[in-house]
Amino acid sequence: MTRPLLEIRGVETFYGHNQALHGVDLDVREGEIVTMIGANGAGKSTLMMTICGVNKATRGSIHFDGTPIHLIPPHEIIRLGISLSPEGRRIFPRMTVFENLQLGTAAIGPAHFDEDVQKIFALFPILERRQSQRAGTLSGGEQQMLAIGRALMGRPRLLLLDEPSLGLAPLIARQIFDTLKELNKNRGLTVFLVEQNANHALKLAAKGHVLVNGRITLSGTGEELLTHPDVKAAYLGGGAR
Amino acid sequence: MDYLAQQLINGLTLGSIYGLIAIGYTMVYGIIGMINFAHGDVFMVGSFVSLICILLFGITGSTDIVIGIGILMIVAVIAMAISGVYGWTIERLAYRPLRGSFRLAPLITAIGVSIFLQNFVQETQGARVKPLQALFAGGFTLHEGTEFTVRITYMQILIVLLTIALMAGFSLLISRTSLGRAQRACEQDLKMTQLLGIDVDRTISMTFVIGAMLAAVAGLMYLLYYGVIDFFIGFSAGVKAFTAAVLGGIGSLPGAMIGGVLIGLIEVLFAAYFSSEYKDVAAFSMLIIVLIFMPQGLLGRPEIEKV
Ligand SMILES: Nc1ncnc2c1ncn2[C@@H]1O[C@H](COP(=O)(O)OP(=O)(O)OP(=O)(O)O)[C@@H](O)[C@H]1O
Ligand SMILES: [Mg+2]
């Protein structure tokens, strides 16, 4: 079997003396959607930030397409072909929607901008209508679309999404998951997704992992996890019913 | 009335100089939240480089005005280049190693750098004031009053026009280029900017370089306008430009420009109607008043969010 696109081995991450990740192992293969679910404070965002190099792994290694990325600064990691749509969206509120999308190409240069921005507008038509509006004035769902659009503008080989459905109406969340599925099918986009909305996220995924207190306690196909009693009880809210 | 009109012209000229310096304070503050107290001394270095170049090129009061202005533009470019190197070096050596340490640390090194630059120029150039003979002394008479004549000198026109051109170019840089976008992104969310693949260290370096370049042109203008400089001019001009940045709303670029003009006007009007001995006091009191009653300034955001 070929080497995975993203290969995480024994990663431990600390905040001061508090250990947030206790040896995480995880693979994401080219063309896959991989989902990780976990409760508040499990360490999901920490893992995302560790992949991107904002938090440094104290132990363990992370390889992207064979390159050891746990040793290099964030902007260099991103330039290798990783985009993140972070927790809380983090769009630039005092810039226009259009400028936010322009910033999305910072890692690759503006050569494909015109072509790609049309694709984003086709995916999220509302962004086209709001393009000269300040991003901070968008609704939460629109901001989430912008964050994902901005991440896609970087033509990533690996798209990292930290709770893309957070705070969204179920309909909008579903729309975003459908979009991801489509991008994965039609363009072969590789996605690593972190979610609390376990139901949607696991349906989408080829593989799923459960993170508890900084450790992966359960792994399997999306289907397997959806029907696993522990997952049902803890994350799908269906255990008791 | 005529007297007032004259003061307004003078204030506008002086305010242009302060506005150009103020941009450097406000940009650096906007992005990394520190006051670069050595900025006034970079302005002073720019002024000295300009003086040396003018003497080397041999421009005098009798040089043809068109040729003279052409050469001054070359002087400005050289001063910008050399001051830019100073700005870059200061950030690299004195501030970057301290990023992420406690807030007061870079402030202390900033004061250290400021003292170093003053002593360096004092040692190498001497402590005495350096005069420059007046270049292109002429001007236009705008209004011939009975007791007072309103004039605008060629030099004032040059200063104001050059300032407008620089500010226009600078605004375009900030609003249209990818560097400007990266700078605004850094100002809003430094970490997210990194996560887009932008080298924020480089963006911060460029911010210092651009600020230093604008200050260098201000240094040239100051030299041309007053005709004397010494190693200490960076202090008072620096505090006034800093006041301008605070008055306009620290972090706001249009605020820095407007604040600069206002501080120039306040200083000139105070000198004209009250006391020219105490004109510096007027500007400094303004700083205190603004800090107490209007810390967010004219165009500043009430709460500057930092991530
Ligand atoms: N900057 C920080 N400083 C100290 N501790 C932190 C910091 N960020 C996160 N932590 C701690 O690390 C642990 C993991 O946090 P993390 O944000 O990764 O959780 P999460 O799984 O993303 O949670 P959520 O679903 O609520 O977003 C938590 O215990 C949290 O308190
Ligand atoms: Mg999180």
* ipTM here: 0.92
Beta strands in chain B (DSSP E): 130-131, 139-144, 149-153, 228-229
Residue B153 belongs to a domain: no
Mean pLDDT of A197-221: 92
Q: What is the residue with the minimal CA distance to atom 28 of ligand 1? A: A41
Number of domains in chain B: 1
* CA A68 – ligand 1 centroid, Å: 24
- Which residues' Cβ are closer than 6 Å to ligand 1? A 15, 18, 20, 38, 40-46, 87, 196
pLDDT digits (tens, 9 = 90+) for B47-78: 999 999 999 998 888 888 889 999 999 999 99
Closest among B190, B200, B171 to B305, alpha carbons compared: B190
Q: What is the residue with the minimal CA distance to atom 26 of ligand 1? A: A40
The torsion of the CA quartet A105, A110, A111, A114, rounded to 10 degrees, works out to 90
pLDDT score recorded for residue B48: 97
Q: Select from A11, A15, A211 the residue to mutate for testing ligand 1; criterion: most ligand atoms less than 8 Å from CB.
A: A15
The ligand 1 atom at the shortest distance from the C-alpha of residue A87 is 27
pLDDT score recorded for residue B226: 93
Q: Select from A24, A35, A44, A197 the residue to mutate for testing ligand 1; criterion: most ligand atoms less than 8 Å from CB.
A: A44
Residue B191: closest CA among chain A residues belongs to which residue? A54
Residue B161 belongs to a domain: no
Residue B163 belongs to a domain: no
Mean pLDDT of A56-65: 96
Q: State the average pLDDT for chain B.
A: 92
* CA A16 – ligand 2 centroid, Å: 18
Q: Which ligand is nearest to the CA of B307?
A: 1
Mean pLDDT of B165-187: 95
Mean pLDDT of A114-124: 94
Which residues of chain B make contact with A136, given a CB cutoff of 8 A? none
pLDDT digits (tens, 9 = 90+) for B236-288: 999 999 999 999 999 899 999 999 999 999 999 999 998 888 888 888 888 89
What backbone torsions phi and psi does residue A93 show, to the nearest 5 degrees?
A: -65, -30
pLDDT score recorded for residue B1: 77
Residue B188: closest CA among chain A residues belongs to which residue? A92
Mean pLDDT of B70-94: 96
pLDDT of B305 > 70? The answer is no
pLDDT digits (tens, 9 = 90+) for B101-145: 888 898 899 999 999 999 999 999 988 999 988 887 788 888 887
| B285 and B269 Cβ atoms separated by less than 8 Å | no
* CA A162 – ligand 2 centroid, Å: 7
pLDDT score recorded for residue A70: 96
Q: State the average pLDDT for chain A.
A: 92
DSSP code, position A110: G
- State the smallest CA–CA distance between residue A103 and chain B in angstroms: 7
Residue B304 belongs to a domain: no
pLDDT-based confidence at B299, cuts 50/70/90?
confident
Residue B4 belongs to a domain: no
Measured distance CA(B252)–CA(B302) in Å, rounded: 12
User: Is B197 near chain A, with CB under 8 Å?
Assistant: yes
Between A230-234, A237-241, B93-97, the lowest mean confidence (pLDDT) is in A237-241
Residue B303 belongs to a domain: no
Mean pLDDT of B3-31: 94
Domain residue limits at B214: 14-135+172-293
Tell me the whole-structure pTM to 2 decimals.
0.92
Residue B97 belongs to a domain: yes
Domains and CATH numbers, chain A: 1-81+157-169+190-241 (3.40.50.300), 90-156 (no CATH)
Q: 3-state SS of A194-214?
A: EECCHHHHHHHCCEEEEEECC
Residues 154-193 of B with CB under 8 A from A: 178, 181-182, 184-185, 188-189, 191-193
Measured distance CA(B164)–CA(B214) in Å, rounded: 12
Mean pLDDT of A153-168: 92
The ligand 1 atom at the shortest distance from the C-alpha of residue A18 is 5
Mean pLDDT of A212-223: 93
Residue A86: closest CA among chain B residues belongs to which residue? B192
pLDDT of B302 > 70? The answer is no
pLDDT-based confidence at A239, cuts 50/70/90?
very low
pLDDT score recorded for residue B43: 98
A203: its two tokens:
């349906």
pLDDT of A137 > 60? The answer is yes
Closest among A173, A207, A171, A179 to A192, alpha carbons compared: A207
* CA B59 – ligand 1 centroid, Å: 65
